[in-house]
């Protein structure tokens, strides 16, 4: 289990801290999603976990052991798969794997075994003799991931592992990543693709401006009594209602609304809120063309928590 406790970090010469009092508990044996807009602090947190930055404020522990000690005891315990293709384009797939296995200090037999396992895992058998620079985007992502698995890490840090790949490769990568906990590797997964996180993560934390806005199991986060609605009218939504339901204008008199729970369980609350909304719209003389009400998805939750304003 990875425990992050009150961690803050400020880069040299930075005006504001990159992380402020971040506390998370990431259970062993699962895929944990780390979400946040650009500049939220995800990369800083991953860099701290990978040992690229040193924790100055707060504590991080892996299986009860302080992170630095855990890394010293087993340097292969945590592996990082950067967002970029962090391998050598002029080397072949096999040469890249052999180099990184050597860099990990694996002995000859173990090296052979781990390289074979990584090739099989990422299904790279057909391209082992190809130079990495000749691979397609999807194969490069698979090689990037395969290198990360060479040391059989307890914790794998994946930074946007599916950027720039076709749907088939993405689906393959997601399935492969989802299967990792079964072989003893806990995954910390950062991505901007909400549907990916929703598909494979059991736990999620949403970060923004260096702070944790929300964290917990995916079910817990999405099963709050808050629900959402999408409504289409024949005229603009009255201002009072727009304010009450934190409406977002989707164009063509369509609006996204949030129903905040005030009355018991989500399902009850949702029905009561929907009925009340329809009454009020009728009173205001609005004709409702369409109404969809339901549990909010991760993207809606994310957008609500992080606001819609553009970052960087």
Partner 1 sequence: MTRLTALWTKETLALLRDRHGLAALFVMPIIFILVMTMALHDAFMPGAAIDVAYAIVDLDGSPHSQSLARRLDKTGSFRHVAAPATTDAARADIRAGRYALALVLPKGFGERLLTPAGADGQATESLTLMVDPTLNPALQLAFRNQTSAALGMLRADELTHSAGKLFGLPTAARPAERDWPDEIVSIAVQNDRSIRPPSSVQQNVPAWLVFAMFFVVIPISAILITERQQGTLQRLAAMGVPFRDVLLGKLLPFFVVNQIQAVLMVAVGIWGVPLFGGEALVMPTGVGLFHCWLVAAAVSLAAVACALLVASLAQTTQQSTIIGGVGNILMAAIGGIMVPKFMMPGTMQTLAEWSPMAWALNGFHTVMLRHGDFAAILPDLVKLLACAALALAVATWLNRRQTA
The residue ranges that bind partner 1 (CB under 8 A) are: 11-12, 47, 50-53, 71, 75-76, 78-91, 95, 98-107, 147, 151, 157
Nearer to partner 1, 10 or 244 (CB): 10
Nearer to partner 1, 107 or 182 (CB): 107
Nearer to partner 1, 6 or 102 (CB): 102
Residue 151 and residue 33: Cα distance in Å, rounded? 22
Nearer to partner 1, 103 or 288 (CB): 103
Least Å distance, CB 8 to partner 1, is 16
Least Å distance, CB 209 to partner 1, is 22
Least Å distance, CB 281 to partner 1, is 52
Nearer to partner 1, 53 or 117 (CB): 53
Q: Is 54 helix (H, G, I), strand (E, B) or coil?
A: coil
Least Å distance, CB 105 to partner 1, is 5
Quote the tokens at residue 144: 């990037």
Residue 146 and residue 37: Cα distance in Å, rounded? 27
Pairing label, strands 155-159, 186-190? parallel
Least Å distance, CB 201 to partner 1, is 22
Least Å distance, CB 153 to partner 1, is 10
The length of the chain is 312
Q: Is residue 254 within 8 Å of 312, Cβ to Cβ?
A: no
Name residues whose C-beta falls within 8 Å of residue 210's C-beta, 6 or more positions apart in sequence.
8, 16, 17, 18, 19, 20, 22, 40, 41, 44
Nearer to partner 1, 94 or 272 (CB): 94
Q: Is residue 191 within 8 Å of 222, Cβ to Cβ?
A: no
Q: End-to-end alpha-carbon separation of the chain, Å?
A: 33
Q: Which of 99, 84, 17 is nearest to 57 (CA)?
A: 17
């Amino acid at each position: 289990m990875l425990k992050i406790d009150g961690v803050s970090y400020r880069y040299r010469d930075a005006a504001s801290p990159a992380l402020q009092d971040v506390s998370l508990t990431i259970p062993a044996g699962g895929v944990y999603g780390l979400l946040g807009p650009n500049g939220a602090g995800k990369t800083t947190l991953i860099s701290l976990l990978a040992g690229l930055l040193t924790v100055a404020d707060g504590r991080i522990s892996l299986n009860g052991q302080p992170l630095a000690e855990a890394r010293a005891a087993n340097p292969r315990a945590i592996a990082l798969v950067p967002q970029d293709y962090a391998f050598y384009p002029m080397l072949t797939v096999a040469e890249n794997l052999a180099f990184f296995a050597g860099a990990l200090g694996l002995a000859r037999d173990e090296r052979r075994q781990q390289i074979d396992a990584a090739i099989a895992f990422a299904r790279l058998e057909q391209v082992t003799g190809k130079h990495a620079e000749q691979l397609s985007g999807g194969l490069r992502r698979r090689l990037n991931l395969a290198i990360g698995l060479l040391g059989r890490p307890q914790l794998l840090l994946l930074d946007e592992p599916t950027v720039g790949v076709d749907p088939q490769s993405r689906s393959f990568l997601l399935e492969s990543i989802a299967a990792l906990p079964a072989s003893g590797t806990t995954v910390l997964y950062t991505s901007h693709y909400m549907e990916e996180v929703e598909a494979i993560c059991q736990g999620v934390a949403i970060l923004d401006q260096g702070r944790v806005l929300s964290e917990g199991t995916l079910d817990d986060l999405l099963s709050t009594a808050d629900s959402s609605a999408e409504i289409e009218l024949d005229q603009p939504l009255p201002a009072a209602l727009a304010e009450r339901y934190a409406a977002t204008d989707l164009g063509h008199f369509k609006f996204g609304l949030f129903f905040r729970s005030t009355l018991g369980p989500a399902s009850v609350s949702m029905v009561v809120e929907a009925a009340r909304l329809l009454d009020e719209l009728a009173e205001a003389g609005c004709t409702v063309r369409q109404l969809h009400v339901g549990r909010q998805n991760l993207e809606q939750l994310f957008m609500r928590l992080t606001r819609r304003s553009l970052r960087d």
